[in-house]
Structure 1
Amino acid sequence: MTLPHDRAVRVLVADDSELFREVLSSVIAVEPGFEVVAVAADGGAAATLARTLRPDVITMDINMPDTDGFSGIARIMADTPTPILVLTANPTEAVGFRALSLGALDILEKPQATTNLAEYGALLRSRLRLLAGVKVIRHLRGLRERRAPAPRAAGRADLVAIGASLGGPRALATLLRGLPADFPAPIAVVQHIADGFTEGLASWLATECRLDVREARHGEVLRPGRVVVAPTGHHLVVSEGIAHLSDAPPVDTFKPSVTPLFLSAARAYGARCCGVLLTGMGRDGAEGLKAIRDAGGVTVAQDEATSAVFGMPKAAIELGAAERVLPIDDIPRLLVELTR
């Protein structure tokens, strides 16, 4: 879904600070293709305005009086599902990711006193336009029902490689929660997210599951039950039993990109690798997932019904890269079966 080019993106701004409401409104509305339809001082007011005004996208602060951002997001996603961009003052804190688990789609750092507002505004508007084209609740059929043929019996997987983009933090939390503390294989993750947020993402995921989740470090050993997350500004690639951080150029505009991880996993592990491609926009990871399948590994794509955005899984399915297309709640059971 995309908005017509001749229609402005209608934005609702929610923040308890009058100064921030003014700053955000000004940097959003400076471009003709955007309109701030209203501002709200707390989550409850934002939910009410979302129901009456039906904005295309909402910016949401978390810490607000009366009704905070978490409550506002929960109400909006229950009553008037709308794409939500969470704005937080501290990207390293895990608390902002709770908002993504409630249904918000993306997270971005608030502007600081030293922030170049022209650059920040351009970044913010690009995110808002992207999110405004996302249909939050999907009741679509199509490719989800055209499942790939049942795969051949697979050997034991010694590595699980996972890629995700928009909607990914929530999907990752669901997947990792379903794995036991003694999960016998290492897990390598690439999640597209704003710069500086991977430390907070890893910290939050560690509180959501029984596994050891951390940002990946160059040269560290891949251990059973450990989840390593690609850090900001580096591709995560693997050799046999070792994680590496690469400063190679962006792939499909992303750094980190899912594709380098999957390609390296296919080379190093072959049939002993399982690749999982989760919700996200675009096609990053599709070619890499195909490489894992061609090497004999098991490949999985999240299904349309449980994906916030079906772009990346759909691209993999169309390419013939996904052996199995599964709801997010079914993927943990498969990973347990493959690693025992």
Structure 2
Amino acid sequence: MNKPLRILVVDDSALARRLLRELLESDPLVEVVGEACNGREAIEMVVALHPDLVTMDVRMPIMDGVETTRQLMAYHPLPILVLTTSLSSYDIDITFQMLGAGALDVMEKPRLDQPGALEEARRSLVRKVRMLARIQVVTHLRGRRGKQSDTYVVPAETSPAASEKPALPVPPKPPAQPGASITPPFKPMAPPLATGIPPHTMTPMRSAACRFDAVVIGASTGGPRVVCQILARLPGDFAATVIVVQHIAQGFSTGMAEWLSDQLTLPVHLATEGMRLQAGHVFLVPDQFDLLIQPNCTVHLSGLPLLMQRPAIDIAMQSVVAVFGAATTGVLLTGMGRDGAIGMRTIRRAGGFTIAQDEATSTIFGMPRAAIELGAADLVLPPERIATTLIKRFALGPQ
């Protein structure tokens, strides 16, 4: 029989701790091994109890969620699930600072004043905890230096020196087929082995209304931190429009857009109906909607129940490539499942360019792995080299 997952609940509210314990222990494979009412106590209990996962409140006395997350990820790394009651700007900002410091995911706390939704909240919480508790996390060394941002421990093969290695061969890219379906029949190709940067030489067949290129970034668990890490390196005169599709809990996409806006040089927008894409701007797809791009280079948000996961990375990538053609670059980051793999294949088959995050730096390698196994990734890189590749690729503007 499987051993129960050992969970530490951290919250300054005794009522919240009791509710979370009851909800979590409704699953026989989950055991709450301790409760802490502030960050300092949480760190002491992590050292003593060695839990598999911590649920972490945002606002607490003595040591808040941000500093607690930094300390834990620097000295005692383990999966952290952020739970917040409020979606106010203040709490959302702290929440995304915690994600930036190494927490894996965020959920809204279950609420007693919504009894009809409590069972769904219980199922969602247990499902999330069971998924995250199995993830192997990395140490974030900047937490030891008191920095507010975090970093990966980059293996030697992905160090800056390795970036100077010559490019290895990549699988042949099928020529673009004008008027062809954006989901053509698939013939398996070998996974890519390249470490170089293919030149951006193919003439894009973009819509006449779009006079620039498009970068579509898809991410799920562990994504906000990596998305920020990549986009923060892009210059203010970046020559492409950037569309970010992040799987995130309902109600948190607005906060993510605000958080990114504070971190980046590029302007950040939460995409809205009819908004026009612009080069040098970042557009985040709102939760509960799928993003479609119209031929006139404007946004359409679809609420049709097409897939279980919304926003769907596949839908956004296929819509973008239908308008931008070979002028599309796809980037697929950390996440569970296969969303984005078909979209990456569509981009590559249309003559575009694709990058998957490497396994060493992925919180969950599921989505990048799926794209690689489809032969849909031109390059497989860590985040800092993804950013460098995008900068070099668009240094001279659209080709």
Q: Shorter-chain TM-score category?
A: over 0.9
- Offset of 1:7 from its aligned partner? 2.2
CA pair 92-161 structure 1, distance change in 2 beyond 3 A: farther
Q: Which amino acid aligns with 1:103?
A: G
Tell me what 2:17 maps to: 21
Tell me what 2:185 maps to: none
Q: Following the alignment from structure 2 to structure 1, what is the Cα–Cα distance between the partners of residues 101 and 306?
A: 30
Q: Following the alignment from structure 2 to structure 1, what is the Cα–Cα distance between the partners of residues 192 and 351?
A: 18
Q: Which runs of 4+ in 1 moved over 6 A?
A: 138-141
Match of 2:193 among 128, 140, 148: 148
Match of 1:217 among 255, 263, 272: 272
Q: Which amino acid aligns with 1:15?
A: D
Whether the 8 Å contact between 2:110 and 2:122 is mirrored in structure 1 is no
Q: Following the alignment from structure 2 to structure 1, what is the Cα–Cα distance between the partners of residues 126 and 391?
A: 41
Q: Does 1:281 align with 2:336?
A: yes
Tell me what 2:224 maps to: 169
* CA shift digits 1:248-268 (9 cap, x unpaired): 3243x2011100011112221
- Offset of 1:6 from its aligned partner? 2.2
Tell me what 2:40 maps to: 44
- Offset of 1:151 from its aligned partner? 6.3
Q: Does 1:33 align with 2:34?
A: no
Q: Which moved more, 1:146-155 or 1:285-294?
A: 146-155
Tell me what 1:99 maps to: 98
* CA shift digits 1:229-256 (9 cap, x unpaired): 11121111223422221123243x2011
The structure that has the greater radius of gyration is 2
* CA shift digits 1:188-245 (9 cap, x unpaired): 1110010111000110011110111121111210011221111121111223422221
Q: Following the alignment from structure 1 to structure 2, what is the Cα–Cα distance between the partners of residues 6 and 333?
A: 44
Match of 1:75 among 68, 71, 77: 71
Q: Which amino acid aligns with 2:86?
A: N
- Offset of 1:92 from its aligned partner? 5.0
Q: CA RMSD in A?
A: 2.2
Q: 5 Å matches for 1:194-209?
A: 194-209=249-264
- Offset of 1:65 from its aligned partner? 0.6
Whether the 8 Å contact between 1:283 and 1:316 is mirrored in structure 2 is yes
Q: Which amino acid aligns with 2:9?
A: V
* Paired residue total: 334
Whether the 8 Å contact between 2:199 and 2:393 is mirrored in structure 1 is no
**Which consecutive unaligned segments of at least 5 residues does structure 1 have?**
none
SS of the residue 1:189 aligns to: strand
Q: Among the aligned pairs, what percent are the same residue? A: 42
Whether the 8 Å contact between 2:192 and 2:375 is mirrored in structure 1 is no
Tell me what 1:61 maps to: 57
Tell me what 1:127 maps to: 128
Q: TM-score, normalised by structure 1?
A: 0.92
Whether the 8 Å contact between 1:235 and 1:256 is mirrored in structure 2 is yes
Q: 5 Å matches for 1:176-195?
A: 176-195=231-250
SS of the residue 1:186 aligns to: strand
- Offset of 1:73 from its aligned partner? 1.0
Q: Which moved more, 1:291-300 or 1:104-113?
A: 104-113
- Offset of 1:147 from its aligned partner? 4.8
Tell me what 1:243 maps to: 299
Q: Which amino acid aligns with 1:97?
A: F
